[in-house]
Amino acid sequence: MTRLNHIVRFLASNWKLTAGLTILLALILFGALGPVLISEEQLQLGAGGFTKPPTADHPLGTDTSGRDMLALMVYGTPVTLKIGLIAGLVATLAGVFLGIASGYLGGWFDELVRSAADVMMTIPAIAVLVVISSFTRDMSIELMGSIIALFAWPYTTRAIRAQTLSMREHGFVRMAKISGQSDLEVILKELMPNLLPYIAAGFVSAVSSGVLASVTLQLLGLGPLSKPSVALVLNLAFNYAALLRELWWMWMPPTVILIILFIGLFLTSMGMDEIANPRLKGARAK
The contact set with other proteins (CB under 8 A) reads 119, 122-124, 126-128, 130-132, 134-137, 212, 215-216, 219-222, 234, 238, 243-244, 246, 251, 255, 258-259, 262-263, 265-267, 277, 279-280, 283-286
Nearer to other proteins, 54 or 221 (CB): 221
Q: Give the residue from 98, 104, 102, 95 showing the smallest Cα distance to 169.
A: 104
Nearer to other proteins, 176 or 206 (CB): 206
CA angle 284, 200, 184 (to 5 degrees): 125
Q: What are the CA-CA distances from residue 99 to residues 76, 111, 250, 265 (Å)?
A: 34, 12, 44, 24
Contacts with 57 (C-beta within 8 Å, 6 or more apart), sequence order: 48
Nearer to other proteins, 156 or 269 (CB): 269
| Minimum gap (Å) between residue 56 Cβ and other proteins | 26
> Is the separation of the CB atoms in 137 and 175 below 8 Å?
no
| Minimum gap (Å) between residue 119 Cβ and other proteins | 6
> Is the separation of the CB atoms in 69 and 53 below 8 Å?
no
| Minimum gap (Å) between residue 216 Cβ and other proteins | 7
| Minimum gap (Å) between residue 106 Cβ and other proteins | 15
Q: Is residue 285 helix, strand or coil?
A: coil
| Minimum gap (Å) between residue 195 Cβ and other proteins | 19
Nearer to other proteins, 19 or 47 (CB): 19
Nearer to other proteins, 133 or 157 (CB): 133
Pairwise CA distance, residues 64 & 140, whole Å: 24
